[in-house]
Structure 1
Amino acid sequence: MWWILAAAAAVALWYWLFIYPHKYWLKRGVKPRTSGFLLGDTLGTFLQKQAFADMVKEVYETCPNPRYAGSYQFFLPSLLIKDPELIKQITVKDFEHFVDHRSLFPEGSDPLWSRNLFSLTGKRWRDMRSTLSPAFTSSKMKYMFTLISQSGEQFVQYFLKKNEDVVTVEMKDTFTRFTNDVIANTAFGVECDSLTDRDNEFYLMGKDVTNFNGVWKNLRFLLIILMPRVFQFFKMTLFSKEVGNFFTNLVKSNIQSREKHGIVRPDMIHLLLEARKNGLKHDETQPLQDTGFATVTESEINTNPKNTKTEITDQDITAQALVFFFAGFDSVSALMCFMAHELAANPDVQDRLIKEVDETLELCQDKLTYEALLSMKYMDMVVCETLRKWPNAVASDRVCTKPYTIEPKYPDEKPVHLKIKDAVWFPVFGIHRDPQYYPEPERFDPERFNDENKVNISPYTYMPFGVGPRNCIGSRFALLETKTLFFYILSHFEIVPVEKTQIPLVLSKKQLNMAAENGFWLGLKRRQK
């Protein structure tokens, strides 16, 4: 008899863990994309059978409703939103109902993660965003441009010293070293040369922070999602103790040294210290010249002077610098990799960009300036098209913070009542590759973003840095860093395919973040001027 009870209990447990969670949307009157089983739409990604970006595109294309559908990320129900008008409604017009991101980690489980801008919720997020946003305006980017430019020159000098006509390079490793040096310099006040000193401590810590490869890493995330209380009980953290101590001590000693000796550097720590002492004010008028079409506009919610007063501790500064590093180290280097690949695969585009680089260099008399870089229209078109075809944030999410109803628009729709903590997500990768918005979406065509065409891009169908008040605060920095490096590279080199270059590029199924299946192998061919 006992085995019958045990079997019944096992079946009940199986149903409760693996079947019942996937009934969530059906019970709410929403058609799910699939019936759902085990890990829902993410099963292929978890088993490393499908790249995460390809999963997002597949879910988008097979959505049974033109506006939304039920979806499951692991065991968590999420409402997939594919209609641009509904995306605008949720992220902008009704932002008060969707203030937060979904948190995968228990609040307070990792101080350095839970205190950063991406993870903060409610009023704490509003206060910190209002405090930090003045540090990312166009004028502050110009302030940091000198440091970024120095790293760009250092990068090309390293390869110019090699006595080779074509230098074969794995771009992900190479660009990651560059972004490491830029973040070290602009966020932490540390000067590095990771191409020469390949095992410097700052770079090794950065690799540790951003390493999410392999089944065991994925399994760790799954356990965190399924058993967050266990995760918190055992005081597990997202960042290793070694990493946490390294960055905490680095920022603390840096702050002490600056305050003791009156050191001022044009970097993020200085801006955050200024915010702590006196608060930072938004520029009353932003310059007409900005970092490009992809730059997100800061919401009035985030620039309201009433929200700018908040206490900033050393730990807050460390957390913001670390998440800045977390995003810049991997995401920006990925953008650079995809852009380099597209230039190599489309030599006509590269030739035109090189011509613009040469003309700009002549105009600024061989010394790149902030204004000259931002005046390069074709450079901006190429970067924008790279972000269209290969957006780093392949999907974005929001969590319902106040009860909300999506009213029906079509005859077969019913009102969808969202409860507090219900999640919605926006399939950016799918929208960016939808032929109704971007004809021949697989084709790399910077002309989509020329002066004549970019004004016709449908609102909320281009979201490389997110939308609404919770967009990416670092969009200007990412664009400036990318444009600066490619200016210096193309001043001296052509980017060419080599034997190991994979064309067309196939996304890796072994990483959660976007990467090439066989790496980004390309050649830097010295230009004959």
Structure 2
Amino acid sequence: MFLIIFVITSLILIYIKLTNLYSTWTKKGIKQTKPLFLLGDNAGTILGSQSVYDSMKNLYNSFPNERYFGMYQLTLPTIQVNDPDLIKTIAIKDFDHFVNHRQFLPGGVEPMWTKNLLSMQNSDWKHMRTTLTPSFTSNKMKSIFNLISEVSQNYVEHFKINKHINEIELKNFSTRYTNDVIASVAFGIQCDSLKYPENDFFVAASNITNGKGLRLFAFLGYIIFPRLFKMLNIPAFSRSATNFLKNAVLETIKTREKHNIVRPDMIHLLMEMKNDSKSTQIGFSDEDIAAQAFIFYLGGFETVSATIFLLGHCLSTHPNAQRKLQKEIDDTLKDCNGKLTYEALLKMKYLDMVISETLRMWPSLPNTDRVCTKPYTLPPSNEKGKPLDIYPGQPIIFPIMAMHYDPKYFPNPNEWDPERFSDENREKIHPYAYLPFGIGPRNCIGSRLAQLEIKIFYFNLLSQFNLVKTDKTVIPLKLHKRSFNMNTQHDIWVGVKERI
């Protein structure tokens, strides 16, 4: 009897506490959403009624006249900023007040996660960002251009060798491509995921990036009950997969140092950083190299793959755009005497346009965040409102995809139209309403690498093949409702026909 009374009393107290918590913004005079108990504004995605991307768009459209409003990430009171000018102020001008991203995992739970650039905070992040930035300059990308080209050529050869293949499922195909690129560029290991579909790297990456089932349960658990899940030692990622990737890096470093092996890839660039006197002073170790390689892999495996298969779908359903891109490819090959160069690839304007428009419609992440690190005062959310004081620990969200679909910034936003990013039209786009790689000092450090992978893939493929619709091609695309990653509910089938 006592136990029953205790449980009921506890539940009542929890309910009262959460009810009080879910009125945080109303008490401060800020408009807010109507969150679902325990699930907050993430309820739609968790329950499978809408994709996280559609959820963000609906939230954004709920308060069209507010510069910002209150919402709830599960049980965490959060500010969503809808005004791109205010986003610029927060993320760039006043960056020293918003240095960090939100920590989803407590320290010590997943060292490969907490030691990487994305998760690091404050001075640790600043030191690591300064250390890694030289590895992502245009000159460094040029040094790994040939490595990516080799992988891409292997995938084009697949169609030449297997002439009976006239249709592919592009999700699977592009994911294997990005796996092989990142394995080569970030780990210095050559994979052939077409010939060996169950290779260790592909299996490890698939296990780590699986955002469903136990992985989703673990992440939600660490967000709602971080101390409990840490005490129970519940893994957020597959331990066998993370250990495999870590050991692959450490073994590669050991072999290269022992035999003086030099390969123009990310591991070599990071090893140079480790040996640099400045990096040594901040303790840049082999484990740090492994952690950075881990996040490059995690960030490049599914996100780049998604852009590739979504762009492939668009090209197959927009033949005029595909022909225009192929003309640019043909002209570039002619200027290069039949062999693509890094410099020539960067000059291709239409290729950049089709990628930019695909990233507008389907950015890799629906939003990005910042966490207040020093007391700050937000301006009024509307003309009649009052300033809002916020304090260290307060998370803020920038709704990337929602702004990308705001007709105020992008007319007819549901139409895939590369011409938005022509030289003439690009100047009309609000520079802080288009954020496919984030904004400010904490933008995506690997954006050049990601775009290079995509450009090389389509340059080589479309120079020899056409992508066409088939009976299996689904129109329109529908986003997956139970995934926090950019994914579709259905497979992406396209036909592949050799150019004549």
Please state which band the TM-score falls in when normalised by the shorter chain: over 0.9
Query: Please, which of 402, 407, 419 is the counterpart of residue 430 of structure 1?
Result: 402
Between 1:102-111 and 1:481-490, the stretch displaced more is 102-111
- Tell me what 2:197 maps to: 198
Matches within 5 A, 1:235-274: 235-274=233-272
State the Cα deviation string for residues 459-515 of structure 1 (Å, max 9, x = none).
201100000100000000001110000001101111111112111111111211111
Matches within 5 A, 1:73-472: 73-164=73-164, 167-214=166-213, 216-278=214-276, 310-408=282-380, 410-472=382-444
| Structure 1 contact 19–38 (Cα < 8 Å) conserved | no
- Tell me what 2:38 maps to: 38
State the Cα deviation string for residues 243-293 of structure 1 (Å, max 9, x = none).
22212221111111111111000101100110111269xxxxxxxxxxxxx
Residue identity matched to 1:59 = L
Residue identity matched to 2:400 = V
| Structure 1 contact 131–309 (Cα < 8 Å) conserved | no
Q: CA deviation at 1:389?
A: 1.0
Name the CA shift for 1:377/1:64 in 2 (closer, same or farther; >3 Å).
closer
Name the CA shift for 1:64/1:22 in 2 (closer, same or farther; >3 Å).
farther
Q: CA deviation at 1:213?
A: 2.4
Q: CA deviation at 1:99?
A: 0.4
SS at match of 2:440: coil
SS at match of 1:50: coil
Name the CA shift for 1:7/1:318 in 2 (closer, same or farther; >3 Å).
closer
Structure 2 stretches lacking a partner, 5+ long? none
| Structure 1 contact 131–279 (Cα < 8 Å) conserved | no
The 2-side partners of 1:464 and 1:162 are apart by 36
| Structure 2 contact 215–236 (Cα < 8 Å) conserved | no
Residue identity matched to 1:158 = H
SS at match of 1:469: helix
| Structure 1 contact 33–64 (Cα < 8 Å) conserved | no
Residue identity matched to 1:398 = R
Q: CA deviation at 1:10?
A: 2.9
SS at match of 1:413: coil
- Tell me what 2:13 maps to: 12
State the Cα deviation string for residues 76-98 of structure 1 (Å, max 9, x = none).
11101000111001000110110
Between 1:422-431 and 1:408-417, the stretch displaced more is 408-417
The 1-side partners of 2:342 and 2:6 are apart by 73
Residue identity matched to 1:95 = F
SS at match of 1:425: strand
- Tell me what 1:502 maps to: 474
| Structure 1 contact 113–119 (Cα < 8 Å) conserved | yes
Between the aligned residues of both structures, percent identity stands at 45
The 2-side partners of 1:308 and 1:346 are apart by 52
Between 1:125-134 and 1:443-452, the stretch displaced more is 443-452
The 2-side partners of 1:35 and 1:152 are apart by 46
State the Cα deviation string for residues 278-328 of structure 1 (Å, max 9, x = none).
269xxxxxxxxxxxxxxxxxxxxxxxxxx9952211110000001000011
Residue identity matched to 2:273 = A
| Structure 1 contact 353–379 (Cα < 8 Å) conserved | yes
SS at match of 2:123: helix
Q: CA deviation at 1:218?
A: 2.7
Q: CA deviation at 1:527?
A: 1.4
Aligned residues: 499
Name the CA shift for 1:494/1:322 in 2 (closer, same or farther; >3 Å).
same
Between 1:137-146 and 1:102-111, the stretch displaced more is 102-111
Structure 1 stretches lacking a partner, 5+ long? 281-306
| Structure 1 contact 398–425 (Cα < 8 Å) conserved | yes
State the Cα deviation string for residues 315-369 of structure 1 (Å, max 9, x = none).
1000000100001111000010111111111111111001111111111111111
Residue identity matched to 1:335 = T
Matches within 5 A, 1:63-82: 63=63, 65-82=65-82
| Structure 1 contact 127–308 (Cα < 8 Å) conserved | no
The 1-side partners of 2:274 and 2:9 are apart by 60
Name the CA shift for 1:389/1:64 in 2 (closer, same or farther; >3 Å).
closer
SS at match of 2:23: helix
Name the CA shift for 1:144/1:189 in 2 (closer, same or farther; >3 Å).
same
- Tell me what 2:499 maps to: 527
The 2-side partners of 1:176 and 1:10 are apart by 45
SS at match of 2:389: strand
| Structure 1 contact 335–390 (Cα < 8 Å) conserved | yes
Residue identity matched to 1:70 = G
- Tell me what 2:47 maps to: 47
Residue identity matched to 1:135 = S
The 1-side partners of 2:451 and 2:11 are apart by 53
Between 1:408-417 and 1:262-271, the stretch displaced more is 408-417
TM-score (norm 1): 0.91
SS at match of 1:32: coil
The 2-side partners of 1:490 and 1:405 are apart by 51
TM-score (norm 2): 0.96
The 2-side partners of 1:418 and 1:120 are apart by 22
| Structure 1 contact 131–308 (Cα < 8 Å) conserved | no
Name the CA shift for 1:64/1:450 in 2 (closer, same or farther; >3 Å).
closer
Q: CA deviation at 1:411?
A: 3.0
The 1-side partners of 2:176 and 2:383 are apart by 54
Residue identity matched to 2:203 = L
The 1-side partners of 2:155 and 2:451 are apart by 17
Q: CA deviation at 1:35?
A: 5.3
Residue identity matched to 1:222 = L
- Tell me what 1:59 maps to: 59
Q: CA deviation at 1:64?
A: 5.6
SS at match of 2:495: strand
